[in-house]
Amino acid sequence: MKHSTKTRIFKVLSILPNTIGYNLYHFLQNSTSKLTIDKKINAAYGTYKTVVRILKENGKSLDGIRIGELGSGWVPVFPYQLILEGGVKHVDTYDINEHYNLKQIKELNEYYKQRDAFELQSESKYPLLKGVSYYPKTNICNGNLQDIDLVLSRFVLEHVPPNDIREIHNFLFSSLKSGSYILHLISPSDHRAYSDSSLSLQDFLKYSQEEWDKIQTKFDYHNRLRLPQYLDLFRDQFEIVHFEHDKINTESKSYKKFKELNIHSDFKKYNDQELMAGSINILLKKK
């Protein structure tokens, strides 16, 4: 779908009452998605392996720990993998929205039901794997994180306003026990380009904040933070023990598209690598 068409649809949904707008948004997202549950599981497994690798490189393991997930998404594939594949003891997953879909959760359960360790909760709105606690319509700042060893977010922070990111990390700093970790996997590129190849992955950097706010809606909000800005948000309170990102390939089509952009003055202070850094993974430690 062309980005202009999707933007028009989201603009219409955003002026409707919240209940109607979100119900239609859920309907459109579920009806237009071409990903089967198998494909969602395979896609999440790549993320799972990235998490395992980063933790291993820093002398950590998933086995037996308690995790707080920031942003639950549409189906609990990742919490299932953390428990069934990684040996995680418990996952508390928080989301300010409620996107879980009963049909897809049943499909997920059917996929995993042959495992010896697979056991569903007896009392829950959704039939979730034992060890997964779902907190929809709940800001993680209202959660109980005293026993959490690791907070995880997957492709969430780019959709959170900077002031909210700061508030969340103030809460995490005050709530997590000493020695706890936070791992953020961030996708800072213009997500419109994922479904519209005519766009550069940095297309949204050509707009002023006022112009961008007229384009985006609550359904596709993107903060446009660049790598140095993320690092600045974290380093005052937490030790940055690991960070990595995609490097520039000056021979790639994406780089050529980027160089054709007229970058807005708000972003002129950053170099090409800082502007283009993609797939940002940051591991933080509470001192």
Q: Using CA atoms, how far apart are residues 226 and 115, in angstroms rounded to an integer? A: 42
What is the percent of the chain with per-residue pLDDT over 70, rounded to a whole number?
95
Distances (CA, A) of 240 to 61, 184, 230, 243, 281: 18, 11, 11, 7, 11
pLDDT of residue 220: 87
204 band by pLDDT with thresholds 50, 70 and 90: very high
Compute the average pLDDT of residues 27-51. Answer: 84
What are the backbone dihedrals phi and psi of residue 190, each rounded to the nearest 5 degrees, phi first? -70, 110
Compute the average pLDDT of residues 42-55. Answer: 96
Q: What is the pLDDT of residues 117-166, one digit of tens each?
A: 789 987 778 999 999 999 999 999 999 999 999 999 999 999 999 999 99
Judged against a pLDDT cut of 70, whether residue 33 lies above it is answered with no
Q: Using CA atoms, how far apart are residues 124 and 266, in angstroms rounded to an integer? A: 47
pLDDT of residue 31: 62
Q: HEC states along 72-113?
A: CCCCCHHHHHHHHCCCCCEEEEEECCCCCCHHHHHHHHHHHC
Q: Using CA atoms, how far apart are residues 155 and 163, in angstroms rounded to an integer? A: 18
**Which tokens belong to 227?**
């790598």
Q: What is the pLDDT of residues 57-81, one digit of tens each?
A: 999 999 999 999 999 999 999 999 9
Compute the average pLDDT of residues 243-265. Answer: 95
CATH dotted code for 3-285: 3.40.50.150
Compute the average pLDDT of residues 236-247. Answer: 94
Task: Name the average pLDDT for the chain.
Answer: 92
Distances (CA, A) of 31 to 20, 25, 27, 28, 35: 16, 10, 6, 5, 10
pLDDT of residue 30: 66
Report pTM. 0.92
pLDDT of residue 206: 97
Judged against a pLDDT cut of 60, whether residue 1 lies above it is answered with no
